[in-house]
C-alpha cells in the first residue's frame, strides 16, 4: 500500500488547473534569475506550455515557431524598415505593441492558411494525421511573450533560456507533480480545447486587446499612469463583458496586497531584500495560497459552483496588479487608472468593431445570387416526410466549407421573422398563408434563398437552400397549438435528437420546431456552433418565436459529459443510463411543457434550476421559460418510443422479420441485383453517406454490441424501429433474419422494394456472439462464385459482418458501380467498411476480401486453390490467431493455399494500395487479407449452374427434389448397418462426377430394396443423393458436383456429417463397401 498520489490539491479546483503548472514555472524562472542571472521575462510561458507539451506537443511546437517568426518579423520592422522610412528605432512600449500586433497577424496566417495547408498536404500524402486538432496555436498573448523573451539576447540566447525553463518545468510537472500528487493532466486537454475555440471564435478579443494596449501606452506617456505593462488593462478590458470576473480580479488583487503588506511586516522578512524576482515570487505565492484556500472552501461548502469562476482572470494578472500597488503605494490610483483606461478603450474598440461589421466580408457564392426560390411550394408529401428529408440534407453542409450568412442576409432573415411573429399573434386559427404579414415574410425569405413549403397539415417549413450556409430548418404550426417552441441546436453532433424533436413536435402540438443546420465544430473558428454564435439564423428564429416557452433538446456527447461532470466518459456510459437525464429550467417552467407527462415517458430525471456550466446563447437571451433537456442515448430512444410514431417514408415502420436460411435469402435476393450494362446503379453523394454512417450504421453497431438477444421484445423493437426509421430516409430497411431450427439471427440492411432502387449493396450483421471477421465480396457478379465462397466463410467463421455490393462492377459505363475503382471511394460499400473498422478499432479483427482470378492469370507451377495476400506486408512468418483460424478452416475444407510473398509471378496480387486497404491504417488492431480464388475452385464452388440440368435428369427418373436438414436427419435416424453395394456405388459415383444420366439410370435399376432420394440441405443449400434401406435409415450420401470427389468419409459420429458437408466430399458411407 502506498500513500501516493498525495491529495495535495482540492479536487474540482487546483487539481486540474493550469495555475499549478504556472506556479511551478514561476519558481523555475525566479530561481534561475536569482542564482544564475537568467532573464526575468515570459513568466507565464513555461507553466502555460508544459501542459501543452504533454497533452498536445505539436500545438506547443506551433506556438514556439510562431514566437520565433514573430520575433524576426518585428526585428525587421523595428530596425530596418523604420529607419529606411526615416523614423526612429522602436523600443519599449512601442516595440512590445509591435510584437503583439505582429503575433496576431502571424497567428492569423498560420491558423487560417499555413497550418491547414500543411496538414492537408500530409493527409493527401497518405499520412493519417488529425491536423485540425493538433496543428493549432493557443492563447491571446503567449506568442508575443515568447518573441519578447528573445528580444534582448537574440534568438540563440532567448531560445536557450526558454528551452531550459521549459525543460526543468516539464521534468518537475511530469515526473514529480503528476505521479505523486492528485494533480491531473487529463482534464487540461479539454481546458485547452475550450480556450482555443473561444479565442478563435471571438475576433473582437483581438480588436479590444490591440486598442487597449495602444491607448494604455499613450496614457502612460502622457499622464505617467503605471499598469505594470500595457497588457494589464488590455486583458482587463476583455472582462467588461463579464463584470463579475472583473470584480473577482480586483478583489483578489487587494487581498494579495493586504496579505503581502502584513507578511512583510513580520520579523521573518525584516532582513530579506524583497525586490525583483524575489518580490514577484513572494506575491505570486500569496496568490497561489489564496486560490488554494478558496478552492477548499468552495469545494467543501459550495460544490455546485465552478471554482475557476472565482479565480482572477489570467494566471498572473492579480499578482501584477497587487505588486504595482505595493511598489507605488497608490492602490486607489492604480485601480482607477487601470479601470478607466480599460473602460475607455473598450468603448473605442466597440466602435471600431461595429464599424467593421458594416462591411460585408463574406465570400460570394459560385452561383447567381439573383435567382430566387419559389415563394411558396405546395407539397404532396406530408409534413414529417419533408422534415426528415430536410434534416437529412444537413449532412450536405458537412462536405462543404462553412460560409456563415452575411450581415445583410441576417438582417433580412430577422425582418422576415418579425413579420412571422406578428402574424402568429393573430387570434385566428387556423392561420391562412395569405395573411399579409406572412406574404411579406415569404417575399423577404425568398430574396435570401430560403425555401418555403406549405404542407397539407397547414404547416410552414422554412429551409435554407444554400448548403454551404447551413441555415437549418424551421417548422411553424399555423393551427392551434400549446405555444411551445422546440429547438434542436446540434442535430449533427447528437445522434437521434433530430428524430426526437419531430416526434415531440407532433405529440406536444408545439408552435414551432427549430433545427440548426450545421455541425458545431465544422468551422475551425466555431462560427458554425449555434450554441455560441451571437448572431445566426438559429438565434434569430429563437428570439422571434420563443415567447418564454422553449424546450431545447440535447444529447450527451463526450464533451458535454466532461463539462458537466469533470471527467471523461466512454461511449458505452453515454449510451446507457450510467449518467442521468437532466432538465435545466431558467427562472420558470415553459408553459407548454408538461413535466408530469415527461416523467411518465422518460422515467426519473434530474431537475435543476441553476444553469449548467456550458455556455448557451439562447439561454443567455431568455429571461425565463427556457428549459434544456439533456438525454442519454437510452433516454432518447425511450422518449422516441413513448410518443406516437409518425409515418415513415414507406408508411411501414415495423421491422420485417423472416424465418429462412441466410443462403436461401441471399440466393433469392441476388436475382434482383443490377446486371452488366444495365445503367441501373445510382451513385451516392457524400452527404448521404455521412447521414447513413452517423444515423444508421453507428447506432446499429452500438445496438449489436449491447447484447440485443438478452433484451426484452419491446426494447428490441424500440431500438430497431428508431434505426429503421433513419434507414428508410435513405431508401433502406432492416430485416431480422432467423435461421429455421436455430438460434442464429442476423440483421440485414437492404434496399426498400417500394423505393427507387439505387443498388448500393446489402449488408448482413450477426446478432449472436460472433468472431471479429468482416467478410467482403466486392465483385460478386463479375468474379463468379467469389460471393458464394464469402457466404460460406461468413457461416464457417461465425463472422460478424458480410458486405456485398448489389450491382455488377460494369453495370454503369462510367465505372461508378465498381466499388473497387480507385477514384470511386464515395460508395456505401466503402462507407460501411470504414465505419466497421472505426467502430471496432480497439479490437483485433480481420477483414477478408474474396476475389477471383482467371486461369490465364494463375501460376501453374504453384497451382494452389487460394492465394492469401496481406495488405500491410509480405512477411507471412508471423500471423495473428485470427489468420491462423482462417487458414485452418481452409485446410479443413480440403483446399490448398499459399501466401503471396512478392515473387515476380505474383505481381498484382499484393493489396497495399487497394481502395479498401487505404483505411486500414486507422484500425491499428486490424489486419486485412485478400483471398484470390483459382478459377478451378470457383467452378467447383457453386452448383447453381448445374442445378437445373440435374433437376431435369432426376425428374426424368421420376425422382422429386426434397428439402431436408441432412445433419438433423442423420442425427435422429440411426445409420444403416448395410454397406452400399458395389453395383450401386459405381454407376452413381460416375454420375456425380460426369452428370451422365445413363449412369444414374444404371444405379437406380441396381437398388433392389434400397431407396434413392434427391435432397437439398436446408442449411448449406448443397445437393445430395441419399440411399436408404427399407427402414429409411441412411446407407450412403453422395455430393453432387463435389469439391473433393475422391474423399470418402465413414459415418462414425455426428462430426463426420459436418465434415462431409463443409468439405463437399465425394461420399459419406454408413459402412465399408
- % of the chain surpassing 90 pLDDT: 32
Of 476, 472, 447, 452, the closest CA to residue 462 belongs to 452
Map out the domains of the chain as residue ranges: 1-201, 241-359, 377-591+605-632, 656-939, 943-1069
Q: What is the 8-class DSSP label of residue 177?
A: I
The arrangement of strands across the sheet holding 1044-1050 comes to 961-964, 1011-1017, 1023-1028, 1034-1039, 1065-1069, 1044-1050
Neighbours of 309 (CB within 10 A): 12
Least confidently predicted of 319-323, 428-432, 964-968: 964-968
CA distance 182 to 718: 43
Q: Read off the C-alpha cell for 632.
A: 442519454
Assign domain 656-939 one CATH number from 3.40.50, 2.20.28, 3.40.630, 2.60.40: 3.40.630
Q: What crossing angle do the helices spanning 786-796 and 881-892 adopt, rounded to 10°?
A: 110
**Model confidence pLDDT, tens digit, residues 186-221:** 554 444 444 444 444 456 778 888 899 889 888 888
Residues near 742 by beta carbon (within 8 Å), at least 6 away in sequence? none
In 448-536, which ranges are continuous DSSP H helix?
A: 497-508
**Model confidence pLDDT, tens digit, residues 168-189:** 999 999 999 988 998 877 554 4
Looking at residues 642-666, what average pLDDT do you find? Answer: 69
Confidence of residue 650 (pLDDT cuts 50, 70, 90): very low
The whole-number pLDDT of residue 537 equals: 95
Collapsing DSSP to helix, strand or coil, 557 comes out as coil
Of 309, 310, 291, 142, the closest CA to residue 231 belongs to 142
Least confidently predicted of 133-142, 495-504, 787-796: 133-142
Higher pLDDT, residue 405 or 124: 405
The whole-number pLDDT of residue 190 equals: 43
Least confidently predicted of 139-143, 618-622, 969-973: 139-143
Q: What residue ranges in 726-821 does DSSP mark as E strands?
A: 732-738, 745-751, 762-766, 771-776, 799-804
- The position carrying cell 455488377 is 808
User: Within its chain, how far is the Cα of 182 from the centroid?
Assistant: 31
Confidence of residue 523 (pLDDT cuts 50, 70, 90): confident
Looking at residues 114-132, what average pLDDT do you find? Answer: 65
- % of the chain surpassing 70 pLDDT: 86
CA distance 954 to 962: 11
**Model confidence pLDDT, tens digit, residues 1047-1061:** 888 887 767 888 888
Of 901, 904, 894, the closest CA to residue 865 belongs to 894
Neighbours of 173 (CB within 10 A): 22
For residue 557, the number of C-alpha atoms closer than 13 Å in the C-beta half-sphere is 15
Looking at residues 507-535, what average pLDDT do you find? Answer: 87
The whole-number pLDDT of residue 80 equals: 67
CB 790, CB 804: distance < 8 Å: yes
| Residues paired with 801 in a beta bridge | 765, 774
The whole-number pLDDT of residue 1 equals: 52
Q: Tell whether the model's pLDDT for residue 466 goes beyond 50.
A: yes
CA distance 55 to 77: 35
Residues near 74 by beta carbon (within 8 Å), at least 6 away in sequence? 95, 98, 99, 102, 147
Looking at residues 820-837, what average pLDDT do you find? Answer: 89
Cβ burial of 382 (10 Å; 0-12, 13-18, 19+) is: middle
Q: Read off the C-alpha cell for 395.
A: 449532412
CB 636, CB 614: distance < 8 Å: no
Q: Tell whether the model's pLDDT for residue 478 goes beyond 90.
A: yes
Looking at residues 289-296, what average pLDDT do you find? Answer: 92
Of 1054, 998, 987, 978, the closest CA to residue 1025 belongs to 987
Q: Read off the C-alpha cell for 893.
A: 475444407
Per the prediction, the chain carries an average pLDDT of: 83
Kindly state the greatest CA–CA separation across the chain: 125
The whole-number pLDDT of residue 102 equals: 92
> How many residues are listed for the chain in this entry?
1073
CB 852, CB 784: distance < 8 Å: yes
pTM of the full structure:
0.62
Collapsing DSSP to helix, strand or coil, 385 comes out as helix
The whole-number pLDDT of residue 596 equals: 87
Q: Tell whether the model's pLDDT for residue 501 goes beyond 90.
A: yes
Confidence of residue 522 (pLDDT cuts 50, 70, 90): confident
Neighbours of 873 (CB within 10 A): 11
Least confidently predicted of 475-479, 879-883, 1022-1026: 879-883
Confidence of residue 577 (pLDDT cuts 50, 70, 90): low
In 135-203, which ranges are continuous DSSP H helix?
A: 142-149, 154-172, 178-180, 186-200
Confidence of residue 395 (pLDDT cuts 50, 70, 90): confident
Q: What is the 8-class DSSP label of residue 181?
A: B
Give, in order, the Cα–Cα distances in Å from 868 to each of 370, 771, 792, 849, 917.
59, 20, 17, 10, 14
**Model confidence pLDDT, tens digit, residues 578-614:** 688 999 999 899 999 988 888 888 888 899 988 887 8
Looking at residues 334-357, what average pLDDT do you find? Answer: 87
**Model confidence pLDDT, tens digit, residues 215-253:** 988 888 888 787 778 888 988 888 887 888 899 999 999
CA distance 5 to 180: 4
Q: What is the 8-class DSSP label of residue 696?
A: I
Looking at residues 486-494, what average pLDDT do you find? Answer: 93
Question: Which helix (H) or strand (E) segment is 546 a member of?
Answer: none
Residue 958: asked if its preceding bond is cis (omega within 30°), the reply is: no
Confidence of residue 644 (pLDDT cuts 50, 70, 90): low
Q: Tell whether the model's pLDDT for residue 984 goes beyond 50.
A: yes
The whole-number pLDDT of residue 525 equals: 63
- The position carrying cell 473582437 is 204
Q: Tell whether the model's pLDDT for residue 312 goes beyond 50.
A: yes
Q: What crossing angle do the helices spanning 944-956 and 997-1005 adopt, rounded to 10°?
A: 50
Least confidently predicted of 12-21, 448-457, 712-721, 971-980: 712-721
Higher pLDDT, residue 787 or 893: 787
Residues near 713 by beta carbon (within 8 Å), at least 6 away in sequence? none
The whole-number pLDDT of residue 701 equals: 92
Confidence of residue 510 (pLDDT cuts 50, 70, 90): very high
In 358-451, which ranges are continuous DSSP H helix?
A: 383-392, 407-424, 436-447
Query: ∠ at Cα 15 (14, 16), nearest 5°?
Result: 90
**Model confidence pLDDT, tens digit, residues 843-887:** 889 999 999 886 555 555 567 888 888 876 545 555 788 998 999
Q: What is the 8-class DSSP label of residue 112?
A: I
Looking at residues 1003-1013, what average pLDDT do you find? Answer: 92
Looking at residues 799-818, what average pLDDT do you find? Answer: 93
Q: Read off the C-alpha cell for 848.
A: 477478408
The whole-number pLDDT of residue 571 equals: 59
The whole-number pLDDT of residue 582 equals: 92
Amino acid at each position: 500500500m502506498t500513500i501516493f498520489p498525495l491529495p495535495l490539491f482540492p479536487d474540482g479546483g487546483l487539481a486540474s488547473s493550469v495555475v499549478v503548472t504556472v506556479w511551478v514555472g514561476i519558481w523555475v524562472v525566479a530561481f534561475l534569475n536569482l542564482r544564475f542571472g537568467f532573464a526575468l521575462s515570459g513568466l507565464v510561458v513555461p507553466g502555460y506550455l508544459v501542459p501543452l507539451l504533454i497533452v498536445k506537443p505539436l500545438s506547443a511546437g506551433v506556438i514556439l515557431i510562431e514566437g520565433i517568426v514573430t520575433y524576426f518579423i518585428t526585428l525587421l520592422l523595428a530596425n530596418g524598415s523604420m529607419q529606411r522610412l526615416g523614423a526612429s528605432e522602436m523600443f519599449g512600449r512601442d516595440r512590445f505593441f509591435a510584437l503583439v500586433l505582429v503575433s496576431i497577424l502571424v497567428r492569423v496566417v498560420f491558423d487560417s492558411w499555413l497550418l491547414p495547408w500543411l496538414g492537408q498536404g500530409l493527409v493527401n500524402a497518405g499520412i493519417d494525421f488529425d491536423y485540425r486538432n493538433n496543428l493549432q496555436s493557443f492563447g491571446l498573448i503567449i506568442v508575443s511573450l515568447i518573441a519578447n523573451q528573445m528580444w534582448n539576447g537574440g534568438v540563440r540566447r532567448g531560445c536557450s533560456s526558454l528551452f531550459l525553463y521549459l525543460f526543468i518545468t516539464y521534468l518537475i510537472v511530469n515526473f514529480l507533480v503528476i505521479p505523486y500528487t492528485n494533480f491531473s493532466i487529463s482534464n487540461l486537454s479539454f481546458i485547452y480545447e475550450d480556450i482555443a475555440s473561444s479565442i478563435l471564435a471571438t475576433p473582437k478579443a483581438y480588436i479590444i486587446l490591440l486598442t487597449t494596449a495602444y491607448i494604455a501606452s499613450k496614457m502612460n506617456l502622457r499622464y505617467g499612469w503605471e499598469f505594470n505593462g500595457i497588457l494589464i488593462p488590455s486583458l482587463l478590458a476583455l472582462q467588461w463583458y463579464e463584470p463579475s470576473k472583473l470584480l473577482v480580479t480586483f478583489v483578489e488583487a487587494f487581498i494579495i496586497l493586504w496579505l503581502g503588506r502584513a507578511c512583510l511586516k513580520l520579523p521573518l522578512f525584516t532582513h530579506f531584500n524583497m525586490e525583483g524576482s524575489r518580490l514577484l515570487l513572494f506575491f505570486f505565492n500569496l496568490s497561489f495560497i489564496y486560490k488554494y484556500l478558496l478552492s477548499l472552501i468552495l469545494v467543501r461548502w459550495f460544490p455546485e459552483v465552478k471554482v475557476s469562476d472565482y479565480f482572477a482572470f489570467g494566471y498572473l494578472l492579480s499578482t501584477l496588479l497587487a505588486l504595482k500597488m505595493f511598489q507605488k503605494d497608490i492602490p486607489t490610483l492604480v485601480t482607477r487608472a487601470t479601470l478607466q483606461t480599460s473602460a475607455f478603450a473598450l468603448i473605442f474598440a466597440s466602435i471600431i468593431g461595429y464599424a467593421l461589421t458594416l462591411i460585408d466580408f463574406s465570400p460570394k457564392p459560385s452561383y447567381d445570387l439573383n435567382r430566387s426560390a419559389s415563394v411558396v411550394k405546395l407539397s404532396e408529401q406530408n409534413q414529417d416526410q419533408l422534415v426528415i428529408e430536410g434534416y437529412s440534407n444537413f449532412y450536405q453542409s458537412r462536405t462543404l466549407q462553412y460560409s456563415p450568412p452575411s450581415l445583410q442576409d441576417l438582417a433580412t432573415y430577422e425582418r422576415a421573422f418579425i413579420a412571422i411573429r406578428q402574424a402568429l399573434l393573430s387570434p385566428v386559427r387556423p392561420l391562412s398563408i395569405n395573411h399579409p404579414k406572412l406574404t411579406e415574410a415569404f417575399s423577404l425569405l425568398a430574396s435570401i434563398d430560403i425555401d418555403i413549403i406549405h404542407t397539407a397539415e397547414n404547416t410552414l417549413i422554412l429551409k435554407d437552400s444554400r448548403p454551404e450556409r447551413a441555415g437549418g430548418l424551421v417548422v411553424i404550426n399555423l393551427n392551434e397549438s400549446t405555444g411551445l417552441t422546440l429547438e434542436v441546436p446540434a442535430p449533427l453532433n447528437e445522434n437521434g435528437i433530430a428524430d426526437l424533436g419531430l416526434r415531440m413536435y407532433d405529440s406536444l402540438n408545439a408552435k414551432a420546431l427549430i433545427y440548426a443546420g450545421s455541425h458545431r465544430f465544422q468551422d475551425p473558428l466555431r462560427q458554425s456552433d449555434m450554441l455560441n454564435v451571437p448572431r445566426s439564423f438559429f438565434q434569430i428564429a429563437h428570439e422571434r418565436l420563443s415567447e418564454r416557452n422553449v424546450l431545447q433538446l440535447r444529447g450527451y456527447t463526450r464533451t458535454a459529459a466532461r463539462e458537466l461532470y469533470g471527467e471523461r466518459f466512454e461511449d458505452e456510459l453515454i449510451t446507457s443510463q450510467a449518467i442521468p437525464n437532466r432538465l435545466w429550467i431558467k427562472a420558470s417552467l415553459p408553459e407548454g411543457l408538461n413535466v408530469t407527462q415527461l416523467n411518465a415517458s422518460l422515467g426519473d430525471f434530474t431537475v435543476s434550476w441553476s444553469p449548467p456550466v456550458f455556455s448557451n446563447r439562447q439561454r443567455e437571451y431568455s429571461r425565463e421559460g427556457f428549459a434544456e433537456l439533456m438525454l442519454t442515448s437510452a433516454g432518447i430512444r425511450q422518449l422516441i418510443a413513448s410518443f406516437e410514431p409518425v409515418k415513415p417514408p414507406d408508411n411501414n415502420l415495423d421491422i420485417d422479420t423472416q424465418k429462412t436460411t441466410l443462403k436461401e435469402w441471399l440466393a433469392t435476393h441476388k436475382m434482383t441485383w443490377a446486371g452488366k450494362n444495365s445503367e441501373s446503379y445510382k451513385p451516392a453523394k457524400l452527404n448521404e453517406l455521412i447521414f447513413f454512417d452517423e444515423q444508421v450504421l453507428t447506432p446499429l453497431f452500438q445496438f449489436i454490441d449491447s447484447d440485443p438477444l438478452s433484451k426484452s421484445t419491446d426494447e428490441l423493437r424500440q431500438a430497431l424501429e428508431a434505426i429503421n426509421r433513419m434507414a428508410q430516409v435513405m431508401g433502406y430497411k432492416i430485416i431480422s433474419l432467423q435461421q429455421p431450427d436455430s438460434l442464429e439471427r442476423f440483421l440485414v440492411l437492404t434496399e426498400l422494394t417500394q423505393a427507387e432502387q439505387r443498388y448500393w449493396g446489402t449488408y448482413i450483421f450477426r446478432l449472436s456472439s460472433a468472431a471479429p471477421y468482416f467478410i467482403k465480396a466486392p465483385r460478386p457478379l463479375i468474379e463468379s462464385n467469389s460471393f458464394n465462397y464469402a457466404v460460406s466463410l461468413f457461416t464457417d467463421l461465425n463472422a460478424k459482418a458480410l458486405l456485398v455490393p448489389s450491382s455488377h462492377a460494369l453495370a454503369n459505363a462510367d465505372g461508378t458501380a465498381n466499388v473497387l475503382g480507385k477514384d470511386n471511394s464515395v460508395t456505401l460499400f466503402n462507407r460501411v467498411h470504414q465505419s466497421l473498422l472505426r467502430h471496432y478499432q480497439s479490437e483485433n479483427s480481420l477483414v477478408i476480401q474474396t476475389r477471383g482470378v482467371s486461369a490465364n492469370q494463375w501460376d501453374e507451377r504453384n497451382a494452389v486453390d487460394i492465394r492469401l495476400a496481406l495488405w500491410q506486408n509480405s512477411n507471412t512468418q508471423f500471423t495473428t490467431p485470427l489468420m491462423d483460424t482462417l487458414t485452418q478452416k481452409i485446410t479443413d475444407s480440403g483446399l490448398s493455399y499459399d501466401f503471396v510473398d512478392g515473387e515476380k509471378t505474383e505481381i498484382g496480387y499484393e493489396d497495399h494500395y487497394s481502395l479498401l486497404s487505404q483505411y486500414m491504417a486507422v484500425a491499428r488492431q486490424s489486419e486485412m487479407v485478400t483471398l484470390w480464388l483459382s478459377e478451378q475452385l470457383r467452378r467447383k464452388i457453386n452448383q447453381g449452374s448445374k442445378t437445373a440440368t440435374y433437376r431435369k435428369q432426376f425428374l426424368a427418373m421420376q425422382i422429386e427434389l426434397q428439402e431436408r436438414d441432412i445433419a438433423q436427419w442423420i442425427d435422429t435416424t440411426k445409420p444403416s448397418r448395410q454397406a452400399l453395394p458395389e453395383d450401386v456405388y459405381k454407376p452413381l459415383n460416375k454420375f456425380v462426377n460426369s452428370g451422365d444420366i445413363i449412369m444414374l439410370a444404371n444405379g437406380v435399376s441396381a437398388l433392389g430394396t434400397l431407396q434413392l432420394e434427391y435432397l437439398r440441405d436446408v442449411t448449406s443449400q448443397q445437393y445430395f443423393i441419399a440411399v436408404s434401406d427399407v427402414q429409411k435409415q441412411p446407407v450412403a450420401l453422395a455430393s453432387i458436383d463435389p469439391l473433393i470427389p475422391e474423399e470418402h468419409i465413414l459415418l462414425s459420429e455426428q462430426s463426420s456429417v459436418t465434415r462431409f458437408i463443409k468439405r463437399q466430399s465425394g461420399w459419406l458411407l454408413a459402412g465399408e463397401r
